[in-house]
Amino acid sequence: MVTDGTRVTKNEHIPWRIIEEEAILIDLEEGEVVRLNPVGAEIWNAIDGVRTIEEIVDHICRTFDVSQWKANRDVHRFITSLLRHELVQERSGV
Amino acid sequence: MRVDFRSSSASPVLSCPTPAREEPLDGLVCARPIENVVTMEDHDGAYHAWERSGFQERILLHIDSHMDWDWLQEQDPLDLLLAQTLTELDAMLKEQGRWTLSRRDRLEPVHIGNYIHPALQEGIIREFYWVFPDVAIGTTGEPSGILRMLQKMMSVNPAGLKNLRVRHKRIELDIQGKRVTACSLSDLPPLPEPVLLDIDTDFLTAERTEYMGTGRAGHDRWRQLPWIWPEELLARLQAKGVRADFVTIAYSVEGGFTPLIYKYLGEELAVRLTHQTIPESYRRLWACKRMGAWYRHYHLLDEAIAEFEAAAALVPCDASSHFNLAYLYDEQGAHERAAACYQQAVRLDPTYGTAYNNFGHNFQALSLLDRAQAEYRRILRWDPQHAEARLGLAETLAKREAWEEAQIQYHAILEGRPDHPDANRELGRVYVERGLWDKAILQLKRAISLDPLDGDTYGWLGDAYYAQGRWNEAMEAYQTSVRYGHRSVALYLRLGGLYLGKRALYKAWKQYRKGGRLAGRIMLVFLLTAARAVRQRFSRELHDGHGWNQGHQERAYSLADH
């Protein structure tokens, strides 16, 4: 369950790169290329294992013209999806 | 009965005619010796030979049972991340055949199936002619099997293969913007300049069934005759005015393409191309071997033996004569004599000890297990230490679920070669099948230490852990198995179950979906194969019984033109 205080880290086995504001991730395990749009790429970039979800939401609000409520909902959904695909991992005890 | 083929009109002994024309002879096949003739076992050696010679913008005349063209699957999918723009990335991803996104550490970037791709890519070749064997032309008069193969390749990568069409019985297409023509020898158009001539020995020994979508036939391949002999091939190339300044010849015995009994045909091609006048000893040697092959074809063993003995007497160091004799003596029941001939052949040329010195693999692929076993047992009569033949025998026993007998054979291999990776792995699998889990785990771990990239081994290790209820270890082994290329419905289902146990519902669903898709594909392939077999049978009946061949042929071509 993702909460405001959750911290996540990128799966270190997923090579990635930003190309023209999109994040391109290669999931070697599944044999898939995952493309994240510019907002997804910004969230992906912000995931560092240190920032909490709440802090990432703040960062998105500062970067894009979006309400706190909408950003909060979208970041939670997006990170839940990343967790489900094992592209990121939950970090505890930080 | 004794048949004298020398006086028959179908005599295989032909001469290479000297051209009676006033055109320049530079490089005309068989008119002048060609200095640069490179022979090799694996055909990808041709690419390296062209590369070393610094060729650029040449015409390739590739005479082969197989096209040898496929996309290079770039070793590293991370190259995708080198794209500078999203448009570039999209273009790269569209070339589907080039990317294998899962790790495939085992894969060699250039191999016998794709070496023409880098030659096209690097500009060594600007135009590519593939001459396929006449036997690829079906009863309808068209190379429909080859057309189907190209259509399939095109469907995988429509951006890479374009403009597929049939014109004047030639299949034409553009690959990477370069013109490619596939045709039979008879339909080869005039070539404007000296070419890179690239011949695979398996072109001479191809069989019709290979192109009918049914694979090799189950007949006795020891008695097979080439559909064309080297001098006839060269005479036909000369008649077409083919000029060449660089020739590559592959034997292609490894993998079971050219039967070892005919490897010498590749050597004969090389000698004919490099000599203005063929030495008399060679002419006599080839004539004897050819006669021997004809007699063998008609199962006239005494006569065949006499010819190959004569060949061996003419050139005692010719390994192929001794190898051919080994089979003939064996057929006569003279097993000791056969073994002596085989051992002499291997002494003279160790490549005759290859795993492909028999047709066990071919029969195994056709599920003709009795005949495969007979092949392996024959080699073991000649050489009881032949690990690959024993491995083949053990595999056929395992396929029949004769686990204990298979186990004995694997142990016998490991006594002589304890580090044989396949024997270690297969023995582990036998333990799995017999439910000897601890033994299986130990054995499979040993196999992994010898060959850490084999996906199957991890799969069986996963099975052993799974049976012991060691879920985490089982999951890890299955995941590694998938990573190294192993795919099976059972594996996906097991992995799905393990994820389910961990409440990783999404992951579990993904595995079940993959298993379902794979099962669907297997079913689809089965149905398509069955449908093709029915269609072929129906087509043959039409051809044989109703004389509709002509009309059928015309309709098929007009369809392909569209």
pLDDT of residue B536: 55
Please name which of B261, B313, B260 lies closest in space to residue B288, comparing C-alpha atoms.
B313
Structural domain total, chain B: 1
Find chain A residues with C-beta within 8 A of B86's C-beta.
19-20, 22
The residue among A14, A28, A83 with the most chain B CBs within 10 A of its CB, best to mutate, is: A28
* CA-based R_g, chain A, Å: 13
**CA distances (Å), B103 to each of A78, B75, B455, B483, in order?**
27, 8, 11, 6
* Residue B559's pLDDT band (cuts 50, 70, 90): very low
pLDDT at position B213 is: 54
Is B100 in Cβ contact with A15 (below 8 Å)? Answer: no
User: Could you tell me if A74 lies within 8 Å of chain B, comparing CB atoms?
Assistant: no
Q: Which of B30-34, B57-61, B72-76, B275-279 reaches the highest mean pLDDT?
A: B57-61
Place B59 in a pLDDT band, splitting at 50, 70 and 90: very high
Contact criterion met (CB < 8 Å) for A33 and B78: no
Q: What pLDDT does residue B76 have? A: 67
Residue B443 has pLDDT above 60, yes or no: yes
Taking all residues of chain B, what is their mean pLDDT, rounded to a whole number?
Answer: 85
The verdict on residue B124 lying in a domain is yes
User: What pLDDT score does B337 carry?
Assistant: 97
Give the distance from residue A12's alpha carbon to the nearest chain B alpha carbon, in angstroms.
14
Q: According to the model, what pLDDT value does residue A93 have? A: 57
Between B78 and B310, whose confidence is greater? B310
> Cβ of A17 under 8 Å from any chain B Cβ?
yes
Determine what percent of chain A falls in helix, strand and coil, rounding each to the nearest 5. 40, 25, 35
Please determine, for residue B212, whether its predicted confidence score (pLDDT) is greater than 80.
no
Q: How much of chain A, in percent, has pLDDT values that exceed 70?
A: 97
Residue B558 has pLDDT above 50, yes or no: no
Cβ distance of B479 and A33 shorter than 8 Å: no
Chain A, residues 18-37, CB within 8 A of chain B, namely: 19-20, 22, 24, 26-33
What average pLDDT score do residues B10-16 get? Answer: 32
Using a CB–CB cutoff of 8 Å, tell me whether A48 touches chain B. no
Assess whether pLDDT exceeds 60 at residue B107. Answer: no
The three-state (H, E, C) secondary structure of B20-54, written as one string: CCCCCCCCECCCCCCCCEEEECCCCHHHHHHHHHC
- In tens, the pLDDT along B504-530 reads 888 888 888 888 888 887 777 767 666
How high is the pLDDT of residue B156? 75
List the A22-27 sheet strands across, edge first.
Answer: A16-19, A22-27, A32-36
Token duo for residue B79: 């190259």
Is B347 inside a domain boundary? no
The model scores a pTM over 0.95: no
Q: Residue range B449-462: average pLDDT?
A: 94
pLDDT band for position B408 (50/70/90)?
very high
Partner residue facing B89 (CB), from A16, A24, A32: A24
Assess whether pLDDT exceeds 50 at residue B543: no
Distance CA A34, CA B51 (A): 37
Mean pLDDT across the stretch B129-157?
Answer: 84
- Predicted confidence at residue A88, as pLDDT, reads 93
In this prediction, residues B392-420 reach a mean pLDDT of 96
Q: What is the pLDDT of residues B357-399, one digit of tens each?
A: 999 998 998 899 999 999 999 999 999 999 999 999 999 999 9
Alpha-carbon gap, residue A75 to A92, rounded angstroms: 19
Pairwise pLDDT comparison (B487 vs A42), residue with the higher score: A42
Q: For testing the chain B interface, which of A24, A34, A81, A86 should be mutated: the one with the most B CBs within 10 Å?
A: A24
Distance, in Å, from the CA atom of B538 to the CA atom of A61, rounded to the nearest integer, reads: 69
- Whether the per-residue pLDDT at B291 is higher than 50: the answer is yes
Which range among A40-54, B28-42, B232-246 shows the weakest confidence by mean pLDDT?
B28-42
* Chain A CA closest to residue B81: A17
On whether residue B396 sits in a domain, the answer given is no
Mean pLDDT of B270-298: 94
A25: closest chain B residue by CA? B81
Of A19, A28, A84, the CB nearest to B103: A28
Cβ B103–A15 below 8 Å, yes or no?
no
Q: Which pLDDT value is given to residue B312?
A: 96
- The pLDDT tens digits of the residues spanning B239-283 come to 999 999 999 999 999 999 999 999 999 999 999 999 888 889 899
Mean pLDDT of B106-111: 67
pLDDT at B21: 39
**Residue B95 pLDDT:** 67
Q: Is residue B120 part of a domain?
A: yes
Using CA coordinates, name the residue in chain A closest to B83. Answer: A19
Is residue B409 assigned to a domain? no
- What percentage of chain B exceeds 90 in pLDDT? 60
Assembly ipTM: 0.87
Residues on B contacting A at a C-beta cutoff of 8 Å: 77-78, 80-81, 83-86, 89, 93, 100-103, 479, 482-483, 506-507, 510
| Range with the poorest average pLDDT among B34-43, B286-295, B471-480, B519-528 | B519-528
Residue B547 reports pLDDT greater than 50: no
Is B18's pLDDT higher than 50?
no
Angle of CA points B170, B164, B186, to nearest 5°: 10
- The mean per-residue pLDDT over the stretch B173-201 comes to 93
pLDDT of residue B318: 95
β-bridge mates for residue B162, sequence order? B174
- Mean of pLDDT values over B192-215: 83
Q: How far is CA B181 from CA B126, B140, B145, B168, in A?
A: 12, 20, 15, 11
Which residue has better confidence, B157 or B422?
B422
Residue B304, pLDDT score: 97
Please tell me the predicted confidence (pLDDT) of residue B555: 31
Per-residue pLDDT band for B3 (boundaries 50, 70, 90) equals very low
End-to-end CA, chain B: 55
B227: tokens are 């559909």
Q: Is B78 a member of any domain?
A: no
| Structure confidence at residue B433 (pLDDT) | 95
Q: What is the pLDDT of residue B549?
A: 34
Rounded mean pLDDT, B218-225: 82
Report the half-sphere exposure of A51 (CA within 13 A, side-chain side): 17
Q: Judge whether B160 lies within some domain.
A: yes
Query: Is B447 within the bounds of a domain?
Result: no
Check whether B161 has a pLDDT greater than 50.
Answer: yes
Contact A19 B506 (CB under 8 A): no
CA distance B365 to chain A (A): 29
- Of all residues in chain B, the percent with pLDDT exceeding 70 is 83
**Residue B58: domain span:** 27-72+110-278
B370: burial class by Cβ within 10 Å (0-12, 13-18, 19+)?
exposed
Q: How close B516 comes to chain A (CA, Å)? A: 16
Is the pLDDT at A10 greater than 90? The verdict is: yes
For chain A, which domains are there?
7-85 (3.90.930)
φ, ψ (nearest 5 deg) of residue B10: -90, 25
SS3 for B378-404, per residue? HHHHHCCCCHHHHHHHHHHHHHCCCHH
Long-range contacts formed by B150-157: CB under 8 A, 24+ apart: B150/B182, B153/B70, B153/B97, B156/B96, B156/B97, B157/B71, B157/B94, B157/B95, B157/B96, B157/B97, B157/B98
